[in-house]
Chain A
């Protein structure tokens, strides 16, 4: 038997490789090819029962549907709070204080950093701002921060007892604080230059003037939407 030439073997291998590539490409581009396939078809539109109706009946049906649409739009509109409410975007770190009809104030804020503090021994904290619909549960002026355990662990300091005065830190929360429950608050900050960045331990930090407006407009029970 004649020995196949090296070049012929290479050619066969090349042809095989190209064939495999073509098959793979066809499978990878299957969605595009399906788009080509579906362009061969078209459906017969069926008006169903509507075809039995005359113009007067159809016009009446349109008017009735439009009336129902207005009712539904009103019902949806009525779901918005009647008092001022706050919307916080934790991705952009922005806030909007608004009423149903208009915006009172908007600007930048700081929200949770999404840092997971791993202190070892199974002790972990995740610094994220809770999402959903919350309410203002309390309002305070000149708030004093009662430092939780993680604030000491984060700085590698010994954790004091619950009522230890070392836990109290006046001034760092700004002039006002609005409580959202579970230790989360809307408050001011000493680090104004970080506003607009996700740097907090879960609370929402606002600039001084923004915080004052929010404090003055939001009552206990006012809604806060965080997303």
Chain B
């Protein structure tokens, strides 16, 4: 067999070109949009005032934090009260108490303990006052993707005869187990994800892969849109919570198509 004749130089050139491609893509598609977003947020911070924490004593700084925490709690409760006036079910996510709550007319109708909270870098780095005012809500979801249907409708024709009726009455169709992963997107470039805490899949691996494809496809299309659409922001703020599978399903199916969500950090 004839040996492949690849020079060392061509191998180095090839790998160098691949690294260059990655760097160029990173700068064009990631670093520049993020810098733009950083500029927007920095402007908002500047609008608030030029004072820095460096000039404050530790005690004063702690007290200011306490004021913020309490004011954020107050605004969360005020918004919860506001949401109690609407007729549909809203989702309240209390990260401090680790609770996901369904609220209808101000009555807490369902609570689920959050086992894991993940906040992405952008949301973590935001100054608290901006995060509390811009990303706590009430936010109205504009679209969602999920691994389960909102309405698990099954179409059925009338029975052909009495034996078919008896068969159905003897053993109804038991709903199949599905894994629950939900992504809700909001118009302020924020997404909230509700994932099942169970790592072992209850449903099929294929269905899970289908959701993962949809999930990454959604981010890909958002990122591409942000490159070409004027007025589109280039960074997505992400909050992910994990709760038991059945609770996640109950919450997703209970919420209306474009639900209101409130977050307490």
Q: Which A residues contact B (CB, under 8 angstroms)? A: 7, 11, 15, 18-19, 22-23, 26-28, 30-31, 33-39, 41-52, 54-55, 58-59, 61-62, 65-66, 68-69, 72-73, 75-76, 79-81, 85, 87, 89-92, 113-119, 126, 128, 131-133, 153-156, 191, 194, 197-199, 223, 225, 227
- How near does chain B come to A191, taking the closest CB pair, in angstroms? 7
- How near does chain B come to A117, taking the closest CB pair, in angstroms? 6
| Residues in A whose Cβ lies below 8 Å from that of B35 | 37, 41
- How near does chain A come to B157, taking the closest CB pair, in angstroms? 6
Provide 16 A-B residue pairs closer than 8 Å at the C-beta atoms, listed in order of the A residue.
A27-B25, A28-B216, A44-B52, A45-B53, A47-B51, A51-B49, A51-B55, A58-B63, A62-B67, A65-B70, A76-B84, A91-B249, A116-B154, A117-B158, A126-B153, A194-B172
Bound: A52/B50 CA distance, A: 12
The listed residue with most A CB atoms (<10 A of its CB), out of B87, B120, B158, is B158
| Residues in A whose Cβ lies below 8 Å from that of B41 | 43
> Which bucket holds chain B's interface residue count?
35 or more
A-B contact count (CB 8 A): 239
Bound: A33/B37 CA distance, A: 15
Contacting pair A79 B87 (CB below 8 A): no
Contacting pair A58 B106 (CB below 8 A): no
Bound: A114/B46 CA distance, A: 53
User: Chain B interface mostly helix, strand, loop or mixed?
Assistant: helix
Contacting pair A41 B34 (CB below 8 A): yes
Bound: A31/B169 CA distance, A: 50
Of B87, B155, B219, B254, which contacts A227 at CB under 8 A? B254
Contacting pair B71 A18 (CB below 8 A): no
B207 within 8 A of A: no
Bound: A90/B254 CA distance, A: 8
Contacting pair B33 A34 (CB below 8 A): yes
B129 within 8 A of A: yes
B230 within 8 A of A: no
